[in-house]
Structure 1
Amino acid sequence: MKVESNTDIEKIISSNKQYFDSSVRIAQKLFEEKLYEDCISYIQKTAAFGWFNFSGYYKSEQLEILLAKIQEKILPISSHQKKHAKTNRVLHICSEVHGSGGHSKLLYNWIKNDNSKKHSIVSTRISIEQLENVSQIYLDDISNLDLISVKSHSKIESVKLLNQLLLNDYDAIILHIHPDETITNIVFSQKDITTPVLFVNHADHVFWVGVSIADTVLQIRESNIAIDSERRGIAAERQVFLPIPIEASSELNDETNYNGDTINILSTGTSYKYNPNEKYNFLREAYKIVEENQNVIFNIVGLRPDSAYAKEYLHERIVLHGGVSASQLADIEKNSHIYVEGFPMASFTALLQVALRKIPLVLHYDPLLLFKLFSEHPDNAVIYPKDLNQWHDNLKALIRDKKYRIESAEKQYDYILNNFSIDVWKSKVAEIYEMFDNQPHSFWFPTKDVFYNGDNEKLLVTIDKQKFSHYDFTEKLSLRGKLFVWLMARDKNININYGGKKKLIRYFSNKI
């Protein structure tokens, strides 16, 4: 698997920035020609590009403003009556949810652990049936849960379906949306919506849309407050630290009576989070560990076994599970002796989940601030290795010394239980609800965009990439508009599918 050099990475960020900037201009052209449906879809595509192909931006002033302008065109008449009393109802809005993954767990753990309110879930991208099926995976009883879908073949229709809900009849609206979600920005840019909107920043390391409609951003890492004050222009008073709500397992992994020789190591994360770069190569280090320790089986959940990266490091004792269900993951965790945080990019929910099973942790070595969940607490064995050698030493000590494993697990478990437990989370949520009792929703004009090109950003460029079609959603433009799109496309980007001459001729043909 090819690993880009720093020079390559700088070229990619520059190329991505050029494409993103040109896409914003194309979205504005679609708006000028009153192609609002295509404009919304194009904005979503541009935001998805910014999410998967880092462009040096963490938010877009122009896209946020453009979505608010679209609202004025497609929802010109106010329909929301002001709420006069508390209802003890909370509305959770998601793009989509899945049977596994930290994002979905975060939403359902909120509902499971907050009995003070009646909860409803709205999805913008999956059907009622799909929403019910996923909800049943996480919750024992969904009979008291209102499930709503506003999914439609038309973005404007989805906007109108969401807008038909009595949005001011809730005490709070919680956004658990994807970084490229457009529907919520359009609806919540309306002045007559008074229910406070809270944005769960579960994708804190990437570009996302939503800074203009979030009354408060709920940060899963306290360090993010200062970072997002700078990079997204969100004032510190509009941000609150809310730890990931992880329920301590009733089945703790107790090694006291384990006398076997086999040591099962576990690491969990979405496949792209393991993609190597010049500094970090997780599978290479896992390979070294199993070669040096014949009693070790290294389980990696989430990493696809058919990927080119995986095929470089095939080993009979490196087991790549790919995606698994929550129950399958629980079975793997139950038989694990050590958890290793993935790199270059960590998975915080997975980390906390195993820590509360009393499984000892080896944290990411020399992590960038963007991927660091804890402050260091050596007395609690919460330490980020300074370099790769220290990482190897820490992991080998846990593999070879049972007493050290048990002591580390105890210390880490106590720290995380006292700082990330359900009780801590519940008290924080109660404070947040109280904070918004008399604070209405506002539209926040976004600050000017800043381009970032530091170490964090260079790492983001190497993590995930997706191909996009340059001409999607622009086919209804006038000939002048199409020519504008073509001019914007002259600086080609490696992550864009431009097609060939035939496609370009077809693109222009219906206007000639």
Structure 2
Amino acid sequence: MRTGCAPVMSNTINTADARRLEDNFAVFQGVVCAWRNHPGLFASPRLERVLIELGRRSVPPGATSVARRVSRTPRHVLHVLSKARAMGGDSRFACRWMRADGARAHSVAITSQLGAAVPQTFLDSAAATGGEVHRLDDDSCDPIVRARRLRALAERADFVALHVYPDDVVPLLAFAHNDGLPPVALINHSDHTFWLGVQVSDLVVQLRRSSIPLGARRRHVNPQRLATLPIPLPVPHRTQSRAEAKARLGLDRDAVVLLSVGTEFKYAPAGGTGFLDLVLPVMTAHERAVLLTVGPRDTGAWAVARERTRGRVVPLGRQDDPAPLFEAADVYLDSFPFTSPTAALEAGAYGLPLVAYCPYAGDAQVLSPGAPGLDDSVCRLEDANQYVETVSRLIVNADTRQVMGERARQAIEHHHQGSGWLDRLSVVYSVAGEVRPRADGPSEDRFETDRLDVMIDRLYGVDADAVGRMIDTHVRPLPVAARRAILRRMLRVNRSFSFDLFLPTWLATRLSWRPPYWNVIRRSLARSAGERHRAQPCAST
């Protein structure tokens, strides 16, 4: 268990001057380090307190702000994202929400687009409802400037939905003052990691029930401020029959196609049974079975599995459009040891039977599949032998596949699509207008190490580039004077850095082409700067 982030957060929070960005740099460092290298915390009241104090001093309410504004039937919803992407669960969630809830105006505020183009789907989804898309960092990446812009947009909305990354500090700065704000709901896309936002959210919206106990116990959120909203899903429309889809993939008509979709790391063994340990006995026993996996690449253990099964284990790597695979599949197997709930929902919407290995208990159940449409439709097995037997039974029995798949499809349709999903969204709007914000939770951080903490540590491993990402995320947007102060400190501890941190943000983020020798020049300049600094007398630092 890594606890190196804990001293960074705890020692700095009490000493940093909330009025000076450069003095809070180590606080930002703690945020990035915490969510990418699990520290035994899922929320930090102390860290949020410093950021909120900075926001109170730097981001005042609007001139016309009065008491907190409440509406149980909002007319204008503001969706806040860290970055708008064509792929990604948070981006798809926001776009599907806007399209499904077209009776209201929906606008989008993006805190850190960093010069990237906003995907057309966001522009179209917002425009169709009469809303707009705002890039808060279009001409300035200063976090205070972005927070003030977000504050102004929020004060004109009736409801704010936060779809932000775990380490995005802009909402905490923007919403430090509660006066004049509508209800703010944080969408808990990353329920298994540390994140910011508890103390500025009126409602924390869970995407599955298994994360509710974790939110109450480890994030210290009053249960009255916890709600559940299913992931919105479009109704899939088949473009071909299952037999046609198999033929286009070069598979035999008689093949029974097992499909699994997830990010590659979700399949890596975490000190125990891995996904391949579960499925290889199935593949050995059933020559008709073919396993297609989206995410894992054809290397290492996956390449060995392909060879052992004479090509019937097919690791496809990342696929931008897995729809043809869902159309060809007969059975869906959830990723393990870490679930991929959105992919399981999409598979169930196609009418596929869903199978998952779920040996976890307590808070660690967030590592297993969970969603309103999955709770009663996934076949959950706690024993590896039972898993093999269940998948084998589905391979040989088409009628069982049909019954289980139809049950999953109906449950997902009821909770995640159409009027069923809109009914649950109306409840969220209503509840958000009733709860009292920011009056619960401890004042101190509480570190713990239980089964979930250990599993997350094993799954994610050490993120060696966390400090580099932290520098790019939190140093580059700062004013030049603040950047210089931080870089001087970095030189004192012999920390390397990119020389282009001195460039204006708009220039550094838009330099799409660099000559082959650019990195050599940049490293040489940085090294020379470090040598000059270390050659100076100690008194000068």
TM range (shorter): 0.7 to 0.9
1:73 Cα shift? 3.2
Correspondence for 2:172: 185
Is the counterpart of residue 282 in structure 1 residue 275 in structure 2?
Answer: yes
What secondary structure sits across from 1:369 in the alignment? helix
Whole-angstrom distance in 1 between the partners of 2:332 and 2:350: 11
1:404 Cα shift? 1.9
Correspondence for 2:315: 320
1:176 Cα shift? 0.4
Contact 2:160 2:182 in 1 (8 A): yes
- Kindly provide the amino acid, as one letter, of the partner of residue 293 in structure 1: H
1:26 Cα shift? 5.9
Correspondence for 1:397: 393
What secondary structure sits across from 2:322 in the alignment? helix
Whole-angstrom distance in 2 between the partners of 1:429 and 1:132: 25
Correspondence for 2:155 among 153, 156, 168 = 168
Contact 1:213 1:444 in 2 (8 A): no
Is the counterpart of residue 452 in structure 1 residue 452 in structure 2?
Answer: no
Correspondence for 2:42: 58
Consecutive unaligned residues of structure 1, counting only runs of 5 or more, are 1-12, 487-499
Is the counterpart of residue 214 in structure 1 residue 198 in structure 2?
Answer: no
Contact 2:48 2:197 in 1 (8 A): yes
- Kindly provide the amino acid, as one letter, of the partner of residue 64 in structure 1: E
1:147 Cα shift? 0.7
TM-score normalised per structure 1: 0.81
Correspondence for 2:132 among 146, 152, 155 = 146
Identical-pair percentage: 21
Count of residue pairs the alignment pairs up = 477
TM-score normalised per structure 2: 0.77
Range 67-76 or range 86-95, more displaced = 67-76
Contact 1:253 1:359 in 2 (8 A): no
1:54 Cα shift? 1.3
Any residues of structure 2 matched to 1:102-121 within 5 Å, and which? 102-121=89-108
Whole-angstrom distance in 1 between the partners of 2:365 and 2:56: 39
Whole-angstrom distance in 2 between the partners of 1:245 and 1:282: 28
Whole-angstrom distance in 1 between the partners of 2:431 and 2:176: 21
Correspondence for 1:494: none
1:47 Cα shift? 1.9
Contact 2:359 2:381 in 1 (8 A): yes
1:378 Cα shift? 12
Is the counterpart of residue 272 in structure 1 residue 277 in structure 2?
Answer: no
Gap change, CA 1:350 and 1:31, over 3 Å in 2:
same
Whole-angstrom distance in 1 between the partners of 2:174 and 2:374: 47
Correspondence for 2:16: 31
Correspondence for 2:86: 99
1:451 Cα shift? 1.7
Contact 2:260 2:294 in 1 (8 A): yes
Q: After superposition, what is the alpha-carbon deviation per residue over 1:299-350, rounded to whole angstroms, capped at 9, x for unaligned?
A: 22223446x564554443333333322xx21122111111100011111111
What secondary structure sits across from 2:160 in the alignment? strand
Contact 1:286 1:318 in 2 (8 A): no
Contact 1:37 1:156 in 2 (8 A): no
Contact 1:51 1:179 in 2 (8 A): yes
Whole-angstrom distance in 2 between the partners of 1:284 and 1:118: 49
Whole-angstrom distance in 2 between the partners of 1:250 and 1:210: 37
Contact 1:128 1:147 in 2 (8 A): no
Whole-angstrom distance in 2 between the partners of 1:202 and 1:21: 24
Contact 2:97 2:232 in 1 (8 A): yes
What secondary structure sits across from 2:445 in the alignment? coil
Correspondence for 2:485: 476
- Kindly provide the amino acid, as one letter, of the partner of residue 403 in structure 1: D
RMSD: 3.8
Range 95-104 or range 230-239, more displaced = 95-104
Correspondence for 2:501: none
Q: After superposition, what is the alpha-carbon deviation per residue over 1:206-263, rounded to whole angstroms, capped at 9, x for unaligned?
A: 1111111110001111232222111111000011111222233233997699992112
Gap change, CA 1:411 and 1:161, over 3 Å in 2:
closer
1:399 Cα shift? 1.6
Range 58-67 or range 469-478, more displaced = 469-478
Range 392-401 or range 171-180, more displaced = 392-401
- Kindly provide the amino acid, as one letter, of the partner of residue 24 in structure 1: M
Consecutive unaligned residues of structure 2, counting only runs of 5 or more, are 247-251, 476-482, 495-526
Correspondence for 1:303 among 296, 306, 314 = 296
- Kindly provide the amino acid, as one letter, of the partner of residue 428 in structure 1: R
Whole-angstrom distance in 2 between the partners of 1:101 and 1:90: 21
Q: After superposition, what is the alpha-carbon deviation per residue over 1:76-98, rounded to whole angstroms, capped at 9, x for unaligned?
A: 57545248796600000011132
Gap change, CA 1:505 and 1:219, over 3 Å in 2:
farther
Contact 1:363 1:385 in 2 (8 A): yes
Gap change, CA 1:371 and 1:89, over 3 Å in 2:
same
